[in-house]
Structure 1
Amino acid sequence: MQQELLQHLATFVGFHSVSDRTEEKERALQWVEETFLFTSHAAVHRGAVSGAPYVYLEHPHPDFLWFAHVDVVPGSPEQFTMRIEGGRAYGRGTKDMKGGAVPFLLAYKHLTEEGIQPRTSILLTSDEETAGPTIPHLLDRGVLHTPVAFTPDTGSKPGIITEHKGVVWAELKAKGSGGHASSPWESKNPIWVLNSALQVLRDTFPPGCESDWRVTVVPTTLAGSNARNQIPEEVTCGIDIRFPLSECSSAKEALALVRKVLPADCELHEVRSAGPLLTDANHPMVQMVKSLAEESEGRSVEIIREHGGTDARYFCERGIPAFLYGPVGGNIHARDEWVSIPSLLKQYEISRKLLQTLA
């Protein structure tokens, strides 16, 4: 079993399915369909939203929708060749989230080969890492139908995730008056204005620590003059805002909270936003997965929350409960991204039991 699982993961990791490699994403999805879904009796739909391909296996009466994404963040060429060291599999996407997907897909394949047809739908997208529109598009058009949604797209902390923060990507613009850098007294340099604004944001929304469950405001990108001797008219800074439902009920409220502390000559505009995830920890499907996980892993499995966000939020926004539980791993998006091999085997066992229970 372990060898089969790792061989599939190594193949999956080998696809360079980053955001600008549409052909690679299509190849990865085709491989998933031909490898894991071919013995299912359910209809398989293929499509694309804004150029991002997806595969959707539609059960007519699903007990739940399992979803995952095949896209990964960029990496160096060697990261797309999986290596195994000391009980861990290393490579781009081993944790986020090809390693999370393979155990479930393999369990589904094995059961359908045995003549069991689980009552689940399966969706694989290719635009999660860029906050793409595939899932909200399919939900809004009535393509996806499910009473609850489940994904193994978890972060580094082990536990079942039923809550994560909402997100606003915004652009902070500081205005001034341009001029020649040799005569700074003749201009109002917007970079100093931006500097003051960022200091205010840091003081008002300090980085804090992992246990803090509050609004965070983080500068991520900068743009201004393209000439070293030119004072620009304006400069912009990309801002990442994360907000818990306990502090802000919407992206609009989170933006207003940040705007009110900014100095004059600064503007804040939303680029993209998504709501928080909040699912009842006592939901029957959450409790079923918790029970199966505790049985398989021989430990207490906590219900937790995460600061990051996933496509699970889109289901929550439309009144569909969603939650996450995946394998143990770490260094997500980093050079030495890894996933625990024993955890992958436990995920296979949990997935198989879940699918058998609902077959």
Structure 2
Amino acid sequence: MELEPFLHTAADLIAVPSTADRPDELHRALELVLDVVGGGFTVERFASHGKPSALLYRPVDGPRPPFRVILNGHLDVVPAPPEQFTARREGDRLYGRGAQDMKISALVMAHVFAELAPLLPYPLALQLVTDEEIGGRNGTLHQLEQGVTGQFVVIGEQSGLEIVTDSKGILQARLTATGRAAHSAYPWHGDNALLTIMEAVRALHTAYPLPTAEAWATTVNLARVDTPNSAFNQVPALAEAWLDIRFPPGEPGFDGRGAAQIAEHLGDICGPGVTVAVEHADAPHHADRARPEVKALQQAARAQGFPGGFLRKHGAADGRFYSQRGIDAVIFGIGGAGLHGPDEYADITTIVPYHRALRDLLAAI
């Protein structure tokens, strides 16, 4: 893979504003990467709730095989101002929305797949999705529900050529409190639902204190507090809070529990007067660091001059959908910084080593 032509294509991909609210642009990003791969492969197309995805593999006689390795990349990005969709190169940095998260890694995966899939003695798949930033349920999860499966998965999320074997679980919940309206001059005649909600949030933060530095611990983010009350001089009779909770493996009350059990656990902490509804709950992601593919990937990273160490990620990624099915998935991607921010960039010096490391991994299996 030649770097300069690759960077021109990368700039074209960054220029596609493939956000969740622009379905045409999601399709355009997907088609651009499919064009990079070229012909000669089976391309299965999927769609769920307007989100397209694709699965590519070497043609076979008969049904789709279980894959020895799946390379997984997402092509959607979070919203950004228009100027961030114009790639900008400064020294060894390529700036732009999606440069680090994760259009560049996905594009490298497409090159590696096109180069090696016809030659490997086992079935290799390239999985391209367009909904990871909004949860991944209509891309990776949808494909798994359609029977796609494999033995080992590499997800190209940013990692600086380190290997992520653990990610926190994620759940989103709504707290609702119902009180009694009254004139604010006579609060003893009412029951303030907002105060009930705030007491519940304080109780949750007492149970799960907010870390002041990085910690492999459960975190409770208060994302929104709302009430339909529209008058200064009225006691609110209804209030709602949105929570985003991240939890490590083995966390009591969350890990290994269903939505109803988690809601009961949160309700016990919040106290009376609060109803808890868990909208989504996904278990933590974990991969066995001792399995041969992980060791081969570590050796491949080290052969490129990188430590190839192990990381744990606080954010969730599509690897959790594989982990829930007993399939080991690791995150392994390029370097860079600033994801989801105004100065997101890819470290250009990591692109070629990343390409070589992926090739070495696939050749070693």
TM-score calculated relative to the size of structure 1: 0.91
Report deviation, 1:132: 3.7
2:331 maps to 324
1:123 maps to 127
Cα contact 2:29–2:75 (8 A) shared by 1: yes
**Amino acid in the other structure paired with 2:89:** I
Q: Secondary structure at the match of 1:289?
A: helix
1:148 maps to 152
2:28 maps to 27
Q: Secondary structure at the match of 1:97?
A: helix
Q: Say whether 1:258 aligns with 2:266.
A: yes
Residues 1-359 of structure 1 mapped to structure 2, 5 A cutoff: 1-36=2-37, 38-39=38-39, 41-59=40-58, 60=65, 62-111=67-116, 116=119, 119-134=123-138, 135-142=140-147, 144-154=148-158, 159-181=162-184, 183-209=186-212, 211-225=214-228, 227-229=230-232, 230-248=234-252, 249-252=255-258, 254-296=262-304, 298-357=305-364
Unaligned runs of 5+ in 2: 59-64
Q: Using the alignment, how far apart are the partners of 2:224 and 2:92 within structure 1?
A: 37
Report deviation, 1:280: 0.6
Q: Using the alignment, how far apart are the partners of 1:169 and 1:317 within structure 2?
A: 18
Q: 1:261 to 1:62 in 2, by over 3 A?
A: closer
Q: Using the alignment, how far apart are the partners of 2:238 and 2:112 within structure 1?
A: 55
Q: Using the alignment, how far apart are the partners of 2:306 and 2:344 within structure 1?
A: 25
Cα contact 2:46–2:143 (8 A) shared by 1: no
**Amino acid in the other structure paired with 2:238:** E
Q: Using the alignment, how far apart are the partners of 2:47 and 2:292 within structure 1?
A: 33
Q: 1:76 to 1:100 in 2, by over 3 A?
A: same
**Amino acid in the other structure paired with 2:156:** P
Q: Using the alignment, how far apart are the partners of 1:129 and 1:251 within structure 2?
A: 24
1:62-100 Cα shifts (integer Å, max 9, x gaps) = 320111111111111011111112311111111111122
Q: Using the alignment, how far apart are the partners of 1:344 and 1:336 within structure 2?
A: 18
**Amino acid in the other structure paired with 2:167:** H
Report deviation, 1:256: 4.3
Cα contact 1:9–1:99 (8 A) shared by 2: yes
**Amino acid in the other structure paired with 1:45:** E
**Amino acid in the other structure paired with 1:23:** D
Unaligned runs of 5+ in 1: none
Cα contact 1:169–1:240 (8 A) shared by 2: yes
Q: Using the alignment, how far apart are the partners of 1:245 and 1:259 within structure 2?
A: 21
Q: How many residues align?
A: 351
1:29-58 Cα shifts (integer Å, max 9, x gaps) = 11111122x24x431011201211011113
**Amino acid in the other structure paired with 2:57:** E
Q: Using the alignment, how far apart are the partners of 1:209 and 1:306 within structure 2?
A: 17
TM-score calculated relative to the size of structure 2: 0.89
Q: 1:61 to 1:243 in 2, by over 3 A?
A: closer
Q: Secondary structure at the match of 1:163?
A: strand
